[in-house]
Amino acid sequence: ACVLALAACAPVESEPPTPPKVVLWGDSFGESVAPHLPAHFEVRAFGGTAPCDWLTDIRKTVSSRPPEVAVLLFVGNTHTACTGGTTASYAVDVAEATVLLRAAGSTVVIVAAPPFGGGPSPNPVNAAYEPDGANLVWGPSTSVAPGGVYSQAYREADGVHLNPAGALRFADAIKKEVR
C-alpha cells in the first residue's frame, strides 16, 4: 500500500505541447527556408510563384483542414501569368488569402520580404502587406533582416535569392514570428 501511495504522489511527466500546425505558402524564398524549418511546418512553395498562384490551394485547405497558423511569404515575382506582369495584384491576393484563412480560424503571419540591394531600402511588395487587425501577425523586414539590412553576404550571385547562410538566417527569423 505504501508503494502505491508513493507512486500516486510522484510527479507526472507530461508530454510537451504539440506545436501548432503551420502551413507556409510562398515562392523561392519559401523553398530556400524549408530545410531549416521544424517538422511541424508544412511548406508549399515554388520558385516564381505569386500569391494568386496559391489561392486555389488555400481555398481547398481551409475547406478541408485549415492550419492553426498560416504563413505567407512572397517577395515579388511577376513572371507568373496571374500577376499580369506586375506586383500590383499582391495586395488584393494577399488580402483574399488572409480573409479566407482568418475565416477558417487560422492565425495569419505575413512575412515581409527582406530589402534588396544589400541596404535598408524596403522591398517594394511590402507595401501590399499591411496589417489589418486581430488574428494577423506582421513580420516586418527588420525582424527578418535585423537592422533592416540583408547584405550580399546572405545573397546568391543574382543579388536577390538567398544563399544557404541567408536561408538559415531567414528561417530563424520566421520561427521567431511563429510562436
pLDDT at 150: 59
pLDDT averaged over the chain? Answer: 79
User: What Rg, from alpha-carbon coordinates, does the chain have?
Assistant: 19
- Beta strands in 12-106, from DSSP E residues, in sequence order: 22-26, 41-45, 69-73
Name beta bridge partners: 136. Answer: 108
CB of 92 closer than 8 Å to CB of 141 = no
Residue 103 has pLDDT above 90, yes or no: yes
pLDDT at 95: 87
- The DSSP call for residue 101 is H
Residue 119 has pLDDT above 60, yes or no: no
CA neighbor of 38 nearest in space, from 134, 175, 177: 175
Per-residue pLDDT averaged across 96-102, rounded?
A: 92
pLDDT band of residue 130 (cuts 50, 70, 90) is low
pLDDT at 162: 86
| From 12-26, 66-80, 164-178, the region with the lowest mean pLDDT | 12-26
Higher pLDDT, 126 or 5: 126
Residue 139 has pLDDT above 60, yes or no: no
- The DSSP call for residue 144 is H
pLDDT digits (tens, 9 = 90+) for 27-72: 999 999 999 999 999 999 999 999 999 999 999 999 999 999 999 9
Per-residue pLDDT averaged across 105-116, rounded?
A: 81
Residue 18 has pLDDT above 50, yes or no: yes
pLDDT at 134: 44
The C-alpha atoms of residue 75 and residue 171 are separated, in whole angstroms, by: 15
Higher pLDDT, 142 or 161: 161
